[in-house]
Amino acid sequence: MKQILQIKDEVNQIVELINDSNYLVVFTGAGISTESGLADFRGADGIWTRRDKGLPPKKGKHFDEVEPNKAHIAIKELQDMGIMKFLISQNVDNLHLESGIKPELISELHGNYTLMKCLECDERYSRTEIQWDRELHGRGFRTEPQVVSQPSCKKCEGRIISSVVNFKDPMPEKEMKLSKHHTEKCDLMLVIGSSLSVQPASNFPRRAKKNGAKIVIINIDITSQDDTADLKSVNKAGELLPSVIEKLKEVK
């Protein structure tokens, strides 16, 4: 009963913050997808956490085996209600787009495993569309040698690479500019499932807070910005956010 009351109280607080805001931006990390069966990276039992402890990685599902969960669907409903103005995501799992998020309303800061992109003009393609065969052409990472037979951009003949941003790769310019633009406009940011320990992505909530925005963090683990959040919830996003949507629909 205590946890039910706690969730109810947090739902009411989040709904109040949303109703008092004019420009809601959502920021997501790997933790939002754990309820779909994917492993996170820097949680208590995350991929990098286990690696740093010398432990083997836990066996998890592949991106192709999972579907959007209740938290993804709730964010999509925020979009459809006209409440969410923009979504900034660190995830490469494609679950936001699969849930129905409009491509023009999301910046996937670390790329998308389903998409290839042109290194010259930034045009995006699915692997099927560009006829990219991983057996023949490799993964297509920026740092890998270019295979002669690799497909080229249909628009400008430029080199095609994976849109996924690996360590030491430059951040995508377009996505960074869009994220900065919407962060500076937002007055409320919902941070869901991110440890907020990976830069430069983690700087967006800090920038929003510095500009006077309210910050809500939803994460079962500790994050590096808990102390500055206006509200920190340790409830699962897939349990909390649907209740927020239901309450928003009641008061609208």
- Domain of 102 in residue numbering reads as 9-112+169-251
d(CA 93, CA 90): 9
User: Could you tell me if 106 and 226 lie in one domain?
Assistant: yes
Mark whether 21 and 90 lie in a shared domain.
yes
- Annotated active-site residue 62? The verdict is no
Could you say which of 163, 180, 199 is where a domain stops? Answer: 163
Residues 24 and 139 in one domain: no
Residues 181 and 243 in one domain: yes
Q: Does the residue 41 lie in any domain?
A: yes
Q: Are strands 115-118 and 124-126 parallel, antiparallel or unpaired?
A: antiparallel
Residue from 96, 110, 137, 182 carrying the catalytic annotation: 110
> Do both 107 and 119 map to the same domain?
no
Tokens 């109703």 found at = 19
Q: Are residues 87 and 152 in the same domain?
A: no
The answer to whether 224 and 211 are in contact (CB under 8 A) is: no
- Is 174 a member of any domain? yes
Are 76 and 154 contained in the same domain? Answer: no
In a domain, 214, yes or no: yes
Report the chain's terminal Cα–Cα distance, integer Å: 28
Residue 62 pLDDT class (50, 70, 90 cuts) = confident
Q: Is the pLDDT of residue 47 over 70?
A: no
Reported residue count of the chain is: 252
| Mean pLDDT for the stretch of residues 80-91 | 98
Residue type, 248: L
Kindly state whether residues 193 and 70 are assigned to the same domain. Answer: yes
Entry pTM: 0.90
Indicate whether 138 and 220 sit together in one domain: no
- Domain end residue (candidates: 163, 179, 201): 163
What is the CATH classification number for the domain harbouring 242? 3.40.50.1220
* Identity of the amino acid at 150: Q
Average pLDDT in the chain:
91
Structural domain contains residue 3: no
The answer to whether the beta carbons of residues 129 and 180 sit under 8 Å apart is no
End position of a domain, from candidates 102, 130, 163: 163
Let me know if 241 is exposed, middle or buried by CB neighbors in 10 A (0-12, 13-18, 19+): buried
Q: How high is the pLDDT of residue 98?
A: 98
Tens of pLDDT, residues 217-236: 999 999 999 999 999 999 99
Mean pLDDT of 70-87: 98
One domain, residues 215 and 100: yes
Asked if 59 and 78 sit in the same domain, the reply is: yes
